[in-house]
Amino acid sequence: MECDLRLADATLIDGTGAPARRADVAVRGAEIVAVGDLTDVQAQRTFDCAGRVVAPGFIDVHSHSDWLVPGADAGAKVEPFLRQGMTTLVGGNCGFSPAPFSEASRRSQSESSRLIVDEPLELQWHDMAGFLDALDQDGVPLNVVELVGHGAIRSAVMGHLEARAPRADELAEMERLAAESLDAGCAGVSTGLGYAPGIFAQAEELAAVAGWAARADKLFTSHVRAYSRVSPVYTTDPEPVPHNVQALQEVMRAARAGGARLQLSHLIFVGRRTWPSCRQALAEIEREREAGLDVAFDAFPYTAGNTTAAVLFPPEMLPHLESILADPEALEGVKALGRSVFEQIGFYLEDVQIMHANAPAFDAYDGFFVGDAAKRAGMDTWEFYARMVIESRRQARVLNHTYSGHDGEEDALRSVLAHPLCTIETDTILTERGHQNPASYGTFPPRFPGCSTPTCARVSSGWRRRFAR
């Protein structure tokens, strides 16, 4: 047999979940024509791959870069992903998808896109079928699997900052939009319970959302309500069950009530005093799995993660956040609450790094930690942070540190990454402006300490099994 290319003596991970093995790979044109001991194959070129891994293209199971791929320059923007070997991204996570939206929610949808893209997108679609058609028409630099976001659906029906529970007619309309999106080709429904409007959803609504996914035999994913041992979102006692573990229990109850398969998004432990709850959280997930719930989780291999600056504030503040932060007396109350909660979890504003302030008056501080930026600006740390949130219209991007570890103490992170239910993801925001998340550039290639197999084994086999039926 002859071929154009032979990859010789590689460590092969084939994406089926089988153990890694030594093998050669023969390629003719754009096709793999043989795998195995191919010593006798005649090849125009041979690459010695000893000590290297050959695997199928990597799948980023939790991405927000679906907002990037409709653009004409999408290939250049996602080049860091392609250079890591990523061939597929799963978008629409955290309840945040490019569709559907209504005329009433068009502005909030466009504004929200500023978190992900440098300039607000021209929304030339209104539903998920239109978005997917746009991708088909314009072409994409890598494959896209899309989830429909509960947050986008809720905003389209009720508005972005409506804190009440949906009426029966509103819930029915939300279900119609979800079903329409799933029929159009979405692979599941995502929720973002740490962000408006998902943060306002309670048990009955969440069970309904899980049911939408289950009835279509699709996946239910969730950014849970809290990732720290104490959260102002909860009024319950964090002892003996920390709030972050209660948040996992809440979503698993919803999945069970709705009969859905559940993917827990980016399992992280925020703050130094939250790290010890890792063992309890993993045990809770394992217990639900053993009881029959189809549940798994994903994680990124860094001790920092990107998010919006507004994520630190409790749900009751969100409908009037700017006016609260602009009021000196009210801000004093916010400071007191924040300092109390932060002390209990071992996380502080000084652990927050500015990725992109998204406001002309603050963009000079991109890359600075908030404490250092406030000193340069001659402002109190909380005052600086409040002004940045206001000036950016809540769209400042930050990189929070102490996620599952810090300064070389990474036991929680390693325990999560090594767990057999974990799949690797980036959860990164990649733009041309500001300070970048290292996950954009270094998520997939390494072999992580504590893991028995390279990252690609978790990517290639784990997520495919989650979608296989």
pLDDT tens per residue across span 340-383: 999 999 999 999 999 999 999 999 999 999 999 999 999 999 99
> Who wins on pLDDT, 432 or 324?
324
Each residue's pLDDT tens digit, 3-41: 999 999 999 998 888 899 999 999 999 899 999 999 999
pLDDT higher than 90, residue 458: no
Structure-token pair, residue 82:
């392609």
Each residue's pLDDT tens digit, 197-217: 999 999 999 999 999 999 999
pLDDT higher than 60, residue 468: no
Mean of pLDDT values over 259-280: 98
Domain spans, the chain:
2-54, 58-303+403-467, 311-401
Predicted pLDDT of residue 114: 75
Task: Give the confidence band of 456 by pLDDT, cuts at 50, 70, 90.
Answer: very low
Q: How far apart are CA 370 and CA 350, in angstroms?
A: 6
CA nearest neighbour of 309 among 379, 365, 267, 269: 365
Q: E strands, 309-463, where?
A: 352-356, 397-401, 422-424
Residue 433 — φ and ψ, nearest 5°?
Answer: -115, 150
The domain 58-303+403-467 having CATH identifier 3.30.1330.10: the answer here is no
Predicted pLDDT of residue 123: 82
Predicted pLDDT of residue 326: 97
pLDDT higher than 80, residue 72: no
Q: How far apart are CA 159 and CA 99, in angstroms?
A: 14
Tokens 């088909």 belong to which residue? 136
Write down the pTM of the prediction: 0.90
Q: What is the dihedral of CA 106, 107, 109, 112, to 10 degrees?
A: 170
Predicted pLDDT of residue 206: 98
The hierarchical CATH code for the domain 2-54 is 2.30.40.10
* Tally of CB atoms within 10 A around 326: 12
Q: How high does pLDDT run on average in the chain?
A: 92
Task: Give the confidence band of 115 by pLDDT, cuts at 50, 70, 90.
Answer: confident
CA nearest neighbour of 443 among 117, 80, 18: 80
Mean of pLDDT values over 133-156: 94
Going across the sheet that includes 352-356, the strands are 304-308, 397-401, 352-356
Helices 168-184 and 203-215: angle between axes, nearest 10 degrees: 30
3-class SS at 355? strand
Each residue's pLDDT tens digit, 165-174: 999 999 999 9
Distance of CA 433 to the CA centre of its chain: 20
Distances (CA, A) of 463 to 67, 141, 269, 274: 21, 20, 22, 27
Predicted pLDDT of residue 425: 96
Task: Give the confidence band of 73 by pLDDT, cuts at 50, 70, 90.
Answer: confident
Mean of pLDDT values over 406-413: 95
What residues contact residue 422 under an 8 Å CB cut-off, 6+ apart? Answer: 267, 296, 297, 298, 299, 416, 458, 462
Q: How far apart are CA 269 and CA 252, in angstroms?
A: 18
Distance of CA 12 to the CA centre of its chain: 28
